[in-house]
Amino acid sequence: MAKRLNISVRLISYWENGERECSFDMLIKLADMLNTSTDYLLGRKDY
């Protein structure tokens, strides 16, 4: 995932642990890559 997004694995770890937040642009890229919505990634929808 990190390689596809051109970021470090450590940055993803920071997101997962709540130490940092990703940018809106990166959130959109993540949603596209995971074939889901930004609302789902933000916990606003269950699907």
| 26 is a domain residue | yes
Query: What is the pLDDT, as a whole number, of residue 38?
Result: 95
Q: Residue 46's pLDDT is what?
A: 78
pLDDT for residue 15: 94
Q: In whole angstroms, give the CA distance from residue 37 to residue 40.
A: 5
Residue 11 belongs to some domain of the structure: yes
Report pLDDT digits (tens) over 1-47. 999 999 999 999 999 999 999 999 999 999 999 999 999 999 998 76
Domain that holds residue 10: 2-41
Domain for residue 19, yes or no?
yes
Count: domains in the chain: 1
In a domain, 47, yes or no: no
Distance between CA atoms of residues 33 and 27, nearest Å: 10
Residue 29 lies in a domain: yes
Q: Would you say residue 46 lies in a domain?
A: no
Q: What is the pTM of this model?
A: 0.80
Q: Determine contact, residues 12/2, Cβ cutoff 8 Å.
A: yes
Is 6 domain-assigned?
Answer: yes
Take residue 42 and report the two structure tokens written for it.
């933000």
Helix (H) or strand (E) holding 27: helix 24-33
